[in-house]
Amino acid sequence: MQDEERSLKLTTDNQQPATLFKGHMPRVGMGYDSHRLVAERPLILGGITVPHAMGLQGHSDADVLLHALIDALLGAAGEGDIGRLFPDTDPRWLGADSADLLLQVRSSIEERGFHLVNADMTVIAQAPRLAPYIPHMRQRIAEIMMTDTENINIKAKTAEGMGPIGNGEGMEAYAIVLIERSG
């Protein structure tokens, strides 16, 4: 192959994907959160109340799963993190319903022309057993995000009794999302 042909071929190969994705460039984001478990707090997780003797401690309702999801969405949109948008020093967010915060974040990414493609989340909790509540969490999050339930995946794991999460001192959550430009 002549140099000129090679250069032409490279240019064509390189430009084709850019043309295909023009205006529809997908973006990925990840989020992580953790909260302590304490007595005399309701356990709010994935936007629903889960019956348990303890609840998560925090300035807001401390919904660790929605906080991870919010951070993933903000990360994908290049909008920073949950602490920047809803600082825990601001009395406005004292006892805040994280479902409302998620709704605000969805509006914010929509204003920038994006919508959620799918979210995959993992929550790590030694107790209670979360599997029975996952369908309701998926439905609730799908409603807030105005997407199909099949686009919201939640996996629950224990920490196999290891470390602070395994000792029941708190819960952790991870979220990965894909967003793309609408239209």
Interacting residues toward Mg ion by CB under 5 A? 33, 67
Cβ 70 to Mg ion, closest distance in Å? 9
Minimum CB–partner distance for residue 6 and Mg ion (Å): 52
33 vs 172, which CB is nearer to Mg ion?
33
Q: What is the per-residue DSSP string for the chain?
A: --HHHHHHHHHHHHHHHHHHHTT---EEEEEEEEEEEEETS-EEETTEEE--SEEE-SSS---HHHHHHHHHHHHHHT---HHHHS-TT-GGGTT--HHHHHHHHHHHHHHTTEEEEEEEEEEE-SSS--GGGHHHHHHHHHHHHTS-GGGEEEEEE--TT-HHHHTTSEEEEEEEEEEEE--
Nearest distance, CB of residue 181 and Mg ion, angstroms: 28
Q: Which is nearer to Mg ion, 69 or 156 (CB)?
A: 69
Beta carbon nearer to Mg ion, 81 or 160: 81
